[in-house]
Structure 1
């Protein structure tokens, strides 16, 4: 049966059911608005289905196997067998539980769910095409629309994700067997997280990066422990190279990489940049060079919504596009392209739509890279504090001085805090080391609340814990640290 030309109406139309979209829909429903959420693929979006959750599941699982295999100094001798297909099945179970939970939460908050692809007809309506033969389409009129269609992996010339040996990050999370070798194009957070996963599974991993350093968005002092650990895991790097093509060898492939012009950056080391074309024989190649917004199905022009030269939808601090009643949130609105950023934007924009006095503020927006060791940051860096006209006051505590870190066998890295010297207000913090992602919560709260160094350093932390390192870093800035030398 073909669905006829049915038209329905809603107060708020949310297009995209990822973290940004479902958060906006649920919050709008809580505020008493009539909400319709359109999703063309799977509720939970990339994060729950093909990104954040499955990658962290595999990171955890491979860490378990690797830790057991390398715990001789603790008196533990083991050689666990890894069943990647079984590991992926477990990961999929976690994903299924969370995605079904999203659907239940939406329905419980009065959100009408609609499966299909939404395309703007004009600035007040969309056409939703339902998948499957004979399913037809219908129109939805709205008072307000929130675009949350997310992003997809960027393809590079010569490397088509449709080709079997060429993997996207989504593909790399669903392999049924461990490849003997893997070339990863891109040393950003996705590439480096997956490099660690496969190196710990026993894959011979090589990373090709056009810049002269890994994780270029982060300062050298945070990335050095990660690079050191990657080298210990046997990961090879070729900085200053751009992958140009791959060739079929029959029993594998050959990735050809050319020197990237002007690959060196001010913060890098010229010695890292090599000179000649290289050929890397491998079983698979993973392309992880970034993500691009998903807007091609929306026909934004029909609604008069503008995009920038990279396809992202510019917005103001209330998530409004150039068309006031159409908002954009999450990855489609540009940096920072983080799931928790999208959730925050979704809730905030829902409140804006409901007439609440809300606005988006990124001052205490955290960022985490789940490498080994983890990197986590919040607030301003030392340079940013200085550029803002403050005199930065820095405190640092190394995990080598943490009793709890030593008992875990992971003591590389540190906690660093940055404050305004005059007032003592904590303006930013960074962590590289064990459980950095969890330690960041306390630091983010301190930045958000305007806590001072004295507030943090005088808060009694349980011993022995990793969180004591936060207290000690704040005390170090005040020349009062007990378990490390003061400045």
Structure 2
């Protein structure tokens, strides 16, 4: 193998492998280091992709069992084969693993398997189970991602007290699953098992779920999960302990008045978020600075305080999103190649793949209030959408926030069927600084879900057609 490169990338997740491809496209001699035997990082192997596979399978089951009769389709003896469902998930992951490996070969990216760490700013030591070697690079990009976070005093034993990784490989459907954390991971994986018949109790320290999104989105999703699945929410509660008693888990939590509740469940999923993974990189050897949250400090070009060393994705500040990591990687690759790209963090969407889906881009109403920006609101309920009614998917609302003076779209928030796709139009609109009137005056196909966005923009001036 070659040992000298223009760019060395540590980590092969959606930040790392996308960066490697873009570097190669730009004519840079590129190496990528991955400690596991497969490429793709957390997102592909134990995160985004497998969770979406499980979400899709569980949603199909739930719809067949509970909604098909409304379409004049009788299905008897519907049951779940969890083993086969998880096997399908594994097959999906395997196929995409193969795709990433193919892309590395196609783009002539040199792949090294092992743990990479700094010997100096240009030299990386790679340790595998059987050997050690060093490679050098003019530039190094850290893309090592994140790992599940826990709470003080709670030991994730991977048996009954589990993280998202173990939740994707359970051998039984829990009768009762306690989910610690009302964020994206908790709501998605809670939905998987809720659809399969588990009782789900969500314990969240904040006063709402999806606390980082527009408050209306969290409120609407909570209402839907309580109505359609066996979800219970304990909001404003702090988890104080979780004990594996062998066949069950005892979880204790305390509210803001000091009242304590104890819950018994089959499993406890700790889903309070993730933390940057920089263990073993040897950052101290080259003097790379970390902030108070353990993230690698970078400038606007994602360059660390050590010239020629960059960091992207979950190890740096900002939302821990796969597509955010990919965008940052592309920007770094182009900067190294002498180009002048840019990234607009305000137009990076966030998506929750529950049912209904939730998607958001730009500012929330709470953020606009806090900043003192004057704004207008337009909303359109899915219950008034012809396409939603024909599909029986009438839960949700499209909500747009526009500047009170200029009418520029400042934020778009959607809960409803196919919100993950609908947010695309909203994101493009904001990238080109469209006004709500611009979207309102563009013809949208009928009947479609995306015309709900047009109706929301019309509602900014209270001239929506279908409400």
TM-score, normalised via structure 1 length: 0.91
Post-superposition offset of 1:7: 8.6
Is 1:336 aligned with 2:319? yes
Q: 1:240 aligns with which of 236, 239, 261?
A: 236
Alignment correspondent of 1:76: 73
**Other structure's SS at 1:356 match:** coil
Is 1:312 aligned with 2:307? no
Mapped to 2, the partners of 1:154 and 1:338 lie a distance apart of 16
Is 1:157 aligned with 2:157? no
**Other structure's SS at 2:39 match:** coil
Q: 1:371 aligns with which of 347, 350, 354?
A: 354
Alignment correspondent of 1:264: none
User: Is 2:160–2:266's contact at 8 Å kept on the other side of the alignment?
Assistant: yes
User: Is 2:178–2:200's contact at 8 Å kept on the other side of the alignment?
Assistant: yes
Post-superposition offset of 1:113: 0.5
Post-superposition offset of 1:295: 0.4
**Other structure's SS at 1:473 match:** helix
User: Is 1:318–1:358's contact at 8 Å kept on the other side of the alignment?
Assistant: no
Q: Deviation per CA, 1:288-345, whole angstroms, max 9, x where unpaired?
A: 1110111011010111110112210121221111112110000011321100100111
Q: Deviation per CA, 1:67-111, whole angstroms, max 9, x where unpaired?
A: 111123333333421111100111111111111111111221121
Alignment correspondent of 1:94: 92
Alignment correspondent of 2:48: 52
Q: Deviation per CA, 1:414-455, whole angstroms, max 9, x where unpaired?
A: 111222243332232111111111100011011111222232
Query: Structure 2 unaligned runs (5+)?
Result: none
User: Is 1:317–1:359's contact at 8 Å kept on the other side of the alignment?
Assistant: no
**Other structure's SS at 1:49 match:** helix
Query: Structure 1 unaligned runs (5+)?
Result: 1-5, 262-273
Mapped to 2, the partners of 1:447 and 1:408 lie a distance apart of 29
Is 1:28 aligned with 2:23? yes
Is 1:258 aligned with 2:269? no
Bigger CA drift: 230-239 or 280-289?
A: 230-239
Q: 1:319 to 1:214 in 2, by over 3 A?
A: same
**Other structure's SS at 1:363 match:** helix
Q: 1:218 aligns with which of 213, 219, 222?
A: 213
Post-superposition offset of 1:388: 6.4
Q: Deviation per CA, 1:383-410, whole angstroms, max 9, x where unpaired?
A: 5456667542322111111011112222
Alignment correspondent of 2:57: 61
Alignment correspondent of 2:170: 175
Mapped to 2, the partners of 1:258 and 1:387 lie a distance apart of 29
User: Is 1:184–1:287's contact at 8 Å kept on the other side of the alignment?
Assistant: yes
Is 1:209 aligned with 2:204? yes
**Other structure's SS at 1:289 match:** coil
Alignment correspondent of 1:189: 184
Post-superposition offset of 1:457: 1.4
Mapped to 2, the partners of 1:76 and 1:464 lie a distance apart of 23
Is 1:10 aligned with 2:8? no
Mapped to 2, the partners of 1:128 and 1:251 lie a distance apart of 42
User: Is 2:295–2:315's contact at 8 Å kept on the other side of the alignment?
Assistant: yes
Mapped to 1, the partners of 2:179 and 2:364 lie a distance apart of 29
Give the aligned length.
463
Is 1:145 aligned with 2:143? no
Q: Deviation per CA, 1:342-389, whole angstroms, max 9, x where unpaired?
A: 011111111011111123321211111122222111122345456667
Q: 1:420 to 1:255 in 2, by over 3 A?
A: closer
Mapped to 2, the partners of 1:470 and 1:188 lie a distance apart of 25
Q: 2:116 aligns with which of 118, 132, 154?
A: 118
Mapped to 2, the partners of 1:387 and 1:285 lie a distance apart of 35
Q: Deviation per CA, 1:206-255, whole angstroms, max 9, x where unpaired?
A: 11222222121123211112111221211122223233333344432322
**Other structure's SS at 1:286 match:** strand
Post-superposition offset of 1:197: 1.0
User: Is 2:213–2:360's contact at 8 Å kept on the other side of the alignment?
Assistant: no
